[in-house]
Amino acid sequence: MPTIEVLAYTPLDMDQFISYCINGKPDGMGDYETDEDGRKITGVFRWLHGRLVPEAHFFHSARGNDVQLFAATIQRLENYDVPWMRRIPGFLAMVKDDGLIGRTQQFAPLSNLLATVISDNALDQRYAQGRVRLNHLLGAMERQPGLLSVGTRELLATLRGDIGTDIKALAEEVQERFGVVL
């Protein structure tokens, strides 16, 4: 039986936040910016892939809506709570932490506010495609140890942006050997 978490955040800017989720924060030279802890800001999708999250679904408010909320359902594998915001490199700089989700003409019940948050099938598909690519890569690594210069543990750590990893070099190696973007 799956364990499902529901996560909700108010981005400082919805478009920038969605781009960050997908792409991280590229530095313009083929690598990624680092956060205040020295971790690579590889983005939410890669971070989730680095945790082997099998399924995730994404929801958000439309641009210009009075309510600005981004939410996700995550199938987690761990049997313990994961403090998301502090673990994902760059995340805290992208979201508000004051609880404000918007300003409306009149006070409305939560159900009315949440009704403005819609499913984003394109993000769901993009996440799922990344997961398929990762599964293919992990399967190839299992069948042929030494296929890449890193093992599975290091690959997953690199996706998460952990300190001491080199996503630029690994992404180039994966692109060269498999013809896919990491």
27-42, pLDDT tens digit by residue? Answer: 999 899 999 999 999 9
Q: Which of 40-44, 82-86, 105-109, 145-149 has the lowest mean pLDDT?
A: 82-86
Tell me the C-alpha to C-alpha distance, in Å, between residue 66 and each of 13, 61, 84, 115.
13, 9, 26, 12
**pLDDT band per the 50, 70, 90 thresholds, residue 76:** confident
pLDDT at residue 102, rounded to an integer = 82
**Spatial distance between the Cα atoms of 177 and 170, rounded to a whole number of angstroms:** 11
User: Three-state SS string across the chain, please?
Assistant: CCEEEEEEECECCHHHHHHHHHHCCECCCCCECECCCCCECCCHHHHHHHCCCCCEEEEEECCCCCECCEEEEEEECCCCCCCHHHHCCCCHHHECCCCCCECCCCCCCHHHHHCCEEECHHHHHHHHHHHHHHHHHHHHHHHCCCCCCCCHHHHHHHHHCCCCCCHHHHHHHHHHHHCCCC
Provide the domain limits for residue 86: 3-178
The more confidently predicted of residues 82 and 114 is: 114
pTM for this prediction: 0.92
